[in-house]
Amino acid sequence: MSWWHRLLRRKKMEEQLEKELKFHLERHEADLISSGVHPDEARRRARLTLGGPEQVKEECRDARGTRWLEDAWQDFRYALRTLRQKPGFAAVALLTLALGIGSTTGMFTLVNGVLLEPLPYPEPSSLVVVHGQSSEWNAELFGQQNVAYQDFLDAQRSARSLDMAAALFNGGTLSEPGEPEYVDFREISPDLFLVLRVPLSQGRAFTPEEDKIGGAPVTILGYSFWLRHFGGAPDALGSSLRLDGKRYSIVGVAKEGFRLFGQEADLYIPVGQNPARFLHNRAAHPMHVVARLRPGVTLSQAQAELSLIGRQLAEAYKDTNAGRTFLVQPFRPDVGDVRPILWLLLGAVGLVLLIACANVASLLLARAVSRERELAMRVALGATRSRLVRQCLTESAVLGLSGGVLGVLLASLGIRPFIAFWPGALPRAEEVQLDWHVLLFAAGVSILSGLLFGLAPALRAPFKNLEQTLRAGMRSIAGGSRRLHSVFVVSEIALAIILLVAAGMLGRTLLHLSSLDPGLDIHNVLVTRMALSPSALADPAKTRAAWKDILDRARHIPGVQSVANVDTFPMREGDNEQAYSTTPDQVPVNKLPFALMTCASADYLKVMGILLRRGRFFDDHDDPKSTQVIVIDEVLAQNAFGSQDPIGKRLWIPEMGYSSNAFEIVGVVGHVRHWGFAADDQAKVRAQIYYPFSQLPDSFLRRWSELMSLAVRTEIPPLSLVAPMRSELKGASNDQVLYEVHTMEQLASDSLAQQRFLLLLFGIFAALALLLACIGIYGVLAYLTGQRVQEMGVRIALGARPADVMWLVLRQSLGMIFLGVILGGAAALACGRILQRLVQGMQPSTASAFATMIPLLVFAALIASFLPARRASRIDPVIALRQE
């Protein structure tokens, strides 16, 4: 019989015990009678030999091994009763705990979903990613390199340790069905879904025949795309769509919510059909490669095999593959820079939870002191120390767990609004949910906090001076607990200081960052990506003409002041970085400095309001036949030429891919905060080079046209121009689209969104901490002065003035505040370092944060202590003394 079984059948076991003992007594009695003893004497003797029946029963119950549980149940009911007796105390404690545990649980839910959960594919542990690795590649600067398509094919064919699949990120214009629209698609190897073990929701995957040049054009729809464009109708299979002028028949629909590298694509097409040159060039590395280890194969075995294949390829294709190999890494979700932020926030709510615990602990302690007599009585009646400690702990565990239940409720309600409120898109937000990990965490946190705030009151259960406690009556002595109380208040203040100073530092940082000069005029600028008509991309002359037409048309739309096309612009993702040199010598690229490359048309400077420091920007005379020109920013000018005048000097850009790598500098412009307000100062690549769109070689035009955006300076609110621009620029065959429309103001503001978001959260946490600390101080002082009413009465009766009494109380609280500020200040200094490491653009100037936040806290704390102090000063000595 297991212990829970025994517990459940407790009643039956009691009956059986009773029956067993009764049987024993009766048999003994009968035996004694038959040996001639008088029945009354027989009964007496039988009972005497067995011993007191209740005592025997009690010992038998102990022997059952379920005793602790029965006690726990008893303690539990007792705890509920005592909590019900003091609904005010219970409500405050529960609310405090619910807030603390709820916010911690909520934040952990995010951490769990975003950082801890494995990838949402079956058996994620056997999935790996394969990167390209080369001695010339600066992985620290650019991240891991992808793989050349032909290298992928060779490796896929010969690898025995893993099954590989590849995907190429691409985008294009969908012209049928419906209005023309930009779609995000992936060109994939046909076995991608197989390798990931994600079934399609409908239809079939691509066949190897379809993965060849000239294969039948087929496509698989993303689930959301299918819902959006086909209303989720099953007859989408077999119908067709037109992508970049080519008709594809639909053969399948991906699974709902299927994402690859964190994104849900609109369409999938077989990569093998793409005749593009870069897919046959081993020097271009566009493919993202995932692979599944075959059963029993370890990561290092797979790495060893791929290294070997890499060496063979390097032998066979010396020009392109020398020094190049493959790197196999575990497939982990890419969550960007969210990781430190999430841990930071979890730490911050952890502090709030600690404050909540300290608060509840001091409340409990106050109650425990007033229950001293009750506990002493129980000890006198034979309760053991461990039994009393257990009972006190049960009470706090009940409090903790009920707080936890409320907290989980709070977290489950709050988590979605919070994610919606997250600046930008929280990666893997769709995987954030309250699962059993979170529940386990919440239960752990609740029990732990229950222990944390319950232990101190429990351990001070009275054992020494039992008699004294009983005799002292209501006049219990608060001396011993005063120090414990102070510990809680001091730690609350210290924790609150940490959060307040952190909030203060974030506030300072935000102020500082917003006051920086972005290097451009962000007002009244509209930026939008622009997809040319596929027919215009066929031939370079047509492409140039199409862009000229677009710029001309856009310039004449009412409200447009100037317009330019540009490939990358500030404060938006996506950039192009190239190594540059001031000499024509051959230097390995990874030894050279890098600059941000921006390809723009003549009016770009005017549109963005960037200052021209020297020389000129581009004009119509810069064409493919004239001297190749560039314009540099002041950072590059300073880095490369110091105090010399850079105009007329030349830069060599070895990997530019133009027929000549030499470029003449014709102008110097102001530095633009390309990486946003916060990140630019620490960015690895800051120098900037502009090169004219009009000088792009023919071979670049197609690819660059796919990357181009329009930048427009407007005389009217920029967003009001979107509709007229759309209709004016849609092209003769109605297949040119604008997408990803922003204003520069939005982008600039988004670049500070993280800091603003953190400031807001820390502000809330700090305010909460301040409030809790004040409640704590108030509660503790009110309680301590309550304990000293008679003492105060005596003092007043002996001639103390109200001010003296007030000072007596305030002095006590000042001592605690002072100690708390010192400890908290030291901790805040350390936390400031962490913030500085984790938050971009964080200002180290902590002094002002300390200077504003500490007085704020001291002021609030003094107000909280003023009320009990005033009450103490108004004690009527007659009443106070009569209470005795």
Partner 1 sequence: MNPKTDLPQGTLDLLILKIAALGPAHGYAIAQRLEQVSQHVVQVPQGSLYPALHRLENRGLLAADWKESETGREAKFYRLTRKGRAQLETEAASWERLTQAVGLILSLSGGAE
Helix (H) or strand (E) holding 564: strand 560-566
Question: Looking at 14, 15, 20, 123, which residue binds partner 1 (CB under 8 A)?
Answer: 20
Instruction: Collect all residues with Cβ–Cβ distance below 8 Å to 741 and sequence separation of at least 6.
Output: 526, 527, 528, 719, 722
Question: Looking at 9, 12, 19, 318, which residue binds partner 1 (CB under 8 A)?
Answer: 19
* Residue linked to tokens 């070895």: 654
Does residue 16 interact with partner 1 by CB under 8 A?
A: yes
Answer for the pair 245, 193: CB distance below 8 angstroms, yes or no. no
Nearest Cα to 838, choosing from 481, 505, 452, 341?
341
| Contact region with partner 1 (CB under 8 A), list: 19-27, 70-78, 316-324, 454-462 | 19-27
| Contact region with partner 1 (CB under 8 A), list: 25-33, 420-428, 641-649, 766-774 | 25-33
**Closest distance to partner 1 from the beta carbon of 378 (Å):** 25
Question: Looking at 7, 50, 472, 635, which residue binds partner 1 (CB under 8 A)?
Answer: 50
Question: CB-side exposure of 872: number of CA atoms within 13 Å?
Answer: 31
Question: Looking at 56, 276, 477, 862, which residue binds partner 1 (CB under 8 A)?
Answer: 56
**Closest distance to partner 1 from the beta carbon of 64 (Å):** 6
3-state secondary structure of 38: coil
Cross-strand bridge partners of residue 324: 134
**Closest distance to partner 1 from the beta carbon of 772 (Å):** 48
| Contact region with partner 1 (CB under 8 A), list: 55-63, 151-159, 579-587, 687-695 | 55-63
Instruction: Collect all residues with Cβ–Cβ distance below 8 Å to 305 and sequence separation of at least 6.
Output: 159, 160, 161, 162
Q: Which one, 23 or 463, has the nearer CB to partner 1?
A: 23
Spatial separation of the C-alpha atoms in residues 645 and 638, rounded to whole Å: 10
Q: Which one, 14 or 698, has the nearer CB to partner 1?
A: 14
Question: Looking at 14, 59, 176, 517, which residue binds partner 1 (CB under 8 A)?
Answer: 59
Q: Which two tokens stand for residue 739?
A: 């997408």
Instruction: Quote the strand ranges of 162-274, DSSP E.
Output: 162-176, 181-188, 202-203, 218-221, 240-243, 246-253, 267-270
Q: Which one, 16 or 263, has the nearer CB to partner 1?
A: 16
Q: Which two tokens stand for residue 202?
A: 């409908």
Does residue 44 interact with partner 1 by CB under 8 A?
A: no
Q: Which one, 49 or 74, has the nearer CB to partner 1?
A: 49
Q: Which one, 24 or 228, has the nearer CB to partner 1?
A: 24
Spatial separation of the C-alpha atoms in residues 5 and 675, rounded to whole Å: 65
DSSP string of 665-705, one letter each residue: EEEEE----TTHHHHGGG-S---EEEEEGGG--HHHHHHHH
**Closest distance to partner 1 from the beta carbon of 837 (Å):** 57
Does residue 28 interact with partner 1 by CB under 8 A?
A: yes
Backbone angles phi, psi at 309, to 5 degrees: -60, -40
At how many degrees (to 10) do helices 39-50 and 10-34 cross? 130
Produce one character per residue of 72-103: b if its CB has 16 or more CB atoms within 10 Å, e if not: beebbeebeebbeeeeebbebbbebbbbbbbb
Q: Which amino acid is at 351?
A: L
Does residue 23 interact with partner 1 by CB under 8 A?
A: yes
Lay out the site mask for partner 1 across 729-758 (x = CB under 8 A, - = otherwise).
------------------------------
Does residue 65 interact with partner 1 by CB under 8 A?
A: yes
| Contact region with partner 1 (CB under 8 A), list: 27-35, 187-195, 546-554, 716-724 | 27-35
Does residue 10 interact with partner 1 by CB under 8 A?
A: no
Does residue 720 interact with partner 1 by CB under 8 A?
A: no
| Contact region with partner 1 (CB under 8 A), list: 23-31, 295-303, 517-525, 702-710 | 23-31
Rg, Å, the chain Cα set: 38
Q: Which one, 33 or 767, has the nearer CB to partner 1?
A: 33
Does residue 60 interact with partner 1 by CB under 8 A?
A: yes
Does residue 55 interact with partner 1 by CB under 8 A?
A: yes
Does residue 63 interact with partner 1 by CB under 8 A?
A: yes
Helix (H) or strand (E) holding 560: strand 560-566
Question: Looking at 18, 41, 62, 623, which residue binds partner 1 (CB under 8 A)?
Answer: 62
Spatial separation of the C-alpha atoms in residues 681 and 518, rounded to whole Å: 11
Question: Looking at 64, 255, 650, 730, which residue binds partner 1 (CB under 8 A)?
Answer: 64
> Binding-site residue total for partner 1 (CB under 8 A)?
21
**Closest distance to partner 1 from the beta carbon of 50 (Å):** 5
| Contact region with partner 1 (CB under 8 A), list: 56-64, 165-173, 240-248, 852-860 | 56-64
**Closest distance to partner 1 from the beta carbon of 7 (Å):** 13
**Closest distance to partner 1 from the beta carbon of 375 (Å):** 29
Spatial separation of the C-alpha atoms in residues 788 and 261, rounded to whole Å: 66
Interface residues toward partner 1, by CB under 8 A:
16, 19-21, 23-24, 27-28, 30, 49-52, 55-56, 59-60, 62-65
